Amino acid sequence: MNRKDLLGIEDLSREEIEEILSVAESMEEILERPIKIAPTLRGITVANLFFEPSTRTLNSFALAEKRLSADYINLSASSSSILKGETLLDTAKNIQAMEVDIIVIRHSIPGAPHFLAERLDASVINAGDGAHEHPTQALLDLNTIRKKMSTFDNLKVAIIGDIEHSRVARSLILGLNKMGAKAHICGPPTLIPKWMDTFDVTINYNLEEVLPDKDIIYILRLQMERQHESFIPSIREYIKYYSLTYERLKKYASPEVLIMHAGPINRGIEIESRVADSEYSLILDQVISGVAVRMSILYLLSRQKTNEDSN
């Protein structure tokens, strides 16, 4: 991979995705050692700027940085001078001035990471920008699938739920298509955006019709915090038609199906606890993949930066 920033799956080629997944495999070897640390990023400083809440992404970036011996700092909106009126660009430039090499940013505004990437020498990694993209999530999802399936070719992945507000869905669909898999979208018509027509997907509004024959069922969180108008009549109705219950899973899905969800999960809304905690679930495997994939991305971007600095 020969790029300064990682901003979206849209920009990546299949070869770049394959390289990230291949390096992640080597990183998994480090994570299996009794002492899970390598000197790979010694001397590199990373700033994790999270202007939206996060459990998985922030902490797996922090662990990935620790495991590779990078120095890192964490900054959140509530503890930064953004609250005193400082702009995002001024904040980022001040962080960069402290000899920071890589900025990981999560922001509610789509394009915020791209805006910084154009204006900073530091590498920028998009850790989720509004409802636009969440590329590191898609890469860890692809890594989780790679470990379970022999090939991506013709793999059938159902993506169920709130597509409209989901950066996870957008990045995942792009990633699956690039790797040769097919995404099958399902959810209430009001939560499937018009722009879906431009993607290589099938669209169906009936969950029970979509479940059979799929290799993977990827459930999306119903994102109440991003719904500024009423997209569904009621939560009760959403559960009735779109919740993945154990009964539905057993009745309609293949016995070999695997279940994925990026988290956080709304238990009892988009997914029943009995499904989330079942033998079909890869939810915690996804979290495990997150550390190795983020180690891989940090390594590949820092290698590029080191090459540029020495030229």
Q: How far is the CB of 100 from ligand CP (least distance, A)?
A: 21
Q: How far is the CB of 75 from ligand CP (least distance, A)?
A: 15
Q: Which is nearer to ligand CP, 203 or 265 (CB)?
A: 265
Q: Which amino acid is at 136?
A: T
Q: How far is the CB of 137 from ligand CP (least distance, A)?
A: 5
Q: Which is nearer to ligand CP, 56 or 305 (CB)?
A: 56
Query: Reading across the β-sheet that carries 182-186, which strands appear in turn?
Result: 201-204, 182-186, 156-160, 216-219, 258-260
Positions 133 through 152 that interact with ligand CP (CB under 6 A): 137
Residues that bind ligand CP (rule: CB under 6 A) add up to a total of 9
- CA dist., res. 61 & res. 67, Å (int): 10
Residues across the chain: 311
Positions 14 through 53 that interact with ligand CP (CB under 6 A): none
Positions 115 through 134 that interact with ligand CP (CB under 6 A): 128
Q: How far is the CB of 188 from ligand CP (least distance, A)?
A: 22
Q: Would you count residue 57 as binding ligand CP (CB under 6 A)?
A: yes
- CA dist., res. 107 & res. 295, Å (int): 21
- CA dist., res. 210 & res. 253, Å (int): 9
- Applying CB under 6 A, which of residues 262, 269, 276, 283 lies at the interface with ligand CP? 262
- Applying CB under 6 A, which of residues 13, 22, 55, 87 lies at the interface with ligand CP? 55
Q: Pick from 8, 1, 2, 12: which is nearest to 179 by CA?
A: 12
- CA dist., res. 15 & res. 3, Å (int): 13
Q: How far is the CB of 40 from ligand CP (least distance, A)?
A: 24
- CA dist., res. 44 & res. 18, Å (int): 24
Q: Which is nearer to ligand CP, 62 or 211 (CB)?
A: 62
- The DSSP code sequence of 17-74 is HHHHHHHHHHHHHHHTSSS----TTTT-EEEEEESS--SHHHHHHHHHHHHTT-EEEE
Q: Would you count residue 263 as binding ligand CP (CB under 6 A)?
A: yes
Q: Which is nearer to ligand CP, 57 or 243 (CB)?
A: 57
Kindly list the residues in this chain that would bind ligand CP in the complex (CB under 6 A).
54-57, 128, 137, 262-264
